[in-house]
Amino acid sequence: MTTRRFTYLFLIAIASLLWTCKHEAPEGPTATPYNLVIPPFFPPMDIPADNPLTVEGIQLGRYLFWEKKLSGNDAMSCGTCHLPEHGFSDPNQFSTGINGDVGTRQAMPLVNMGWSTSFFWDGREPTLEAQIADPIVNPIEMDENWDRAIEQIDSDPKYDALFYKAYGSTEVTQEKISKAIASFLRTMISANSKFDKQRIGQYQFTPEEQHGFDLFLTEGGSPDEVPGGSFGADCFHCHGFGSMQMTDYLFHNNGLDATFSDLGRGGVTGSIYDNGKFKTPTLRNVELTGPYMHDGRFTTLEQVIEHYNSGGIPSATIDPFMKFTVGGLQLSAESKSDLIAFLKCLTDTSFLQNPAFSDPHE
Ligand code: HEC
Ligand code: HEC
């Protein structure tokens, strides 16, 4: 190869390199990758490849989670219905939207969302990114339209730097808003309850808590009526802790009603076999997340335990794990209170009071 031809090829190589840089490099600074620490016994978290966690993206998400400008009257943020002191849930049976309209479902607690495989009581949204659009445009919730929301955020000077640092440009888009809030939600990890500490040998259950835990993990019903029945509380079939989340992420009918005014999962799949089934909620922070069930019908954990103890109300889709406990769980008063003592071990105050999740606008 002659020297001249070599120089020529060399120049082409440099030119194409420059061309790629110009077209592929981000406009602004590159955001810092966030080092997500997966707690002991937790499975890995599935993070979408097109929304990697970054320190700056999470920070932006935190501002947006608490941003009232994302609602039609600038008076409601995500945090209005998902309050930290209530396990990021709403203490009201139904949440009231900006127009005073009241919904028909209880706000769900936000905790360890990064491990959830579907969202809402009926699981209608498959990803956190997709879920976020729902409350913002929902007429009985934040009742905002995206164009106005984007305009509002765009005209707030504080967001210039936040968007620039997270995404290398000050441009505000629906996609960036959704991605940033989703990233923030993925960092809301609770893994410091007594239950977690017990798992790693840093806490010993009291005898009552231990008994409650044992009941939680034991088959329900009398051995005469139920195969394997051992007079346990039988919670683990659906609120198991394989994923450490006290939910199997599936949909069940836990025997609340004989007929269904809210079809739940059936309303999404259109299958009659799914009517009356709802996503098993996590029991993390359950002490604080009442009222309970999709329609918030129970105000106390005692009422919840009474429901399961009674065996629930039969219907076409009632779960076999409810149906087989003929005559209910038949728990003694002591067993019921021990079960509640165990459920309270799932409260994680360091998570609820973590300053990283609090309102940054204050
Ligand atoms: C007006 C009250 C209200 C506001 C505001 C609100 N939510 Fe919710 N949230 C709810 C209710 C009610 C549900 C359950 C709705 C359903 O199942 O149909 C829910 C469910 C969720 C879930 C599903 C949790 C799970 O385990 O499946 C997530 C995630 C969530 N909200 C995040 C947000 C985010 C992010 C915002 C802000 C963009 C927000 N919410 C604003 C009331 C609200
Ligand atoms: C057949 C599966 C199944 C079994 C067994 C089961 N649950 Fe549930 N649990 C669910 C489902 C599904 C819901 C939501 C139902 C709804 O709202 O319609 C739920 C809701 C709850 C709630 C309300 C949580 C909230 O945020 O509203 C609590 C508390 C609860 N269960 C505790 C228990 C306890 C304690 C046991 C054992 C005594 C138990 N569950 C057994 C499936 C089950």
* Ligand lying closest to the C-alpha of residue 255: 2
Q: Given the structure tokens 């840093």, which residue do they identify?
A: 202
Q: What distance in Å separates the CA atoms of residue 221 and residue 59, rounded to the nearest whole number? A: 49
Ligand 2 lined by 239 (C-beta under 6 Å):
yes
**Closest approach atom of ligand 2 to CA 301:** 29
Pocket test for ligand 2, best of 88, 110, 118, 235 (most atoms within 8 A of CB): 235
Question: Which is nearest to 112 in space by CA: 4, 246, 236?
Answer: 246
pLDDT of the chain, 362 residues: tens digit per residue: 445 555 554 444 544 444 444 444 445 678 999 999 999 999 999 999 999 999 999 999 999 999 999 999 999 999 999 999 999 999 999 989 988 889 999 999 999 999 999 999 999 999 999 999 899 999 899 999 999 999 999 999 999 999 999 999 999 999 999 999 999 999 999 999 999 999 999 999 999 999 999 999 999 888 888 778 888 999 999 999 888 999 999 999 999 999 999 999 999 999 999 999 999 999 999 999 999 999 999 999 999 999 999 999 999 999 988 866 667 898 999 999 999 999 999 999 999 999 999 999 98
Distance from residue 22's CA to the centre of ligand 2 (Å): 55
**Nearest residue (CA) to ligand 2, atom 2:** 238
**Nearest residue (CA) to ligand 1, atom 13:** 107
Q: Please say whether the dihedral angle defined by the alpha carbons of residues 325, 328, 334 and 337, taken in this order, is positive or negative.
A: positive
**Closest approach atom of ligand 2 to CA 339:** 35
Render 31-89 in DSSP notation, one character per residue.
Answer: PPBP-PPPPTTPPPP---TTS--BHHHHHHHHHHHT-GGGSTTS---HHHHSBGGGTSB
Domains of the chain by range and CATH? 55-190+353-357 (1.10.760.10), 194-346 (1.10.760.10)
Angle 112-286-204 from CA coordinates, rounded to 5°: 90
In order of 240, 317, 340, the CA distances from 321 in angstroms are 13, 11, 20
Distance from residue 36's CA to the centre of ligand 2 (Å): 30
Enter the pTM of the model: 0.93
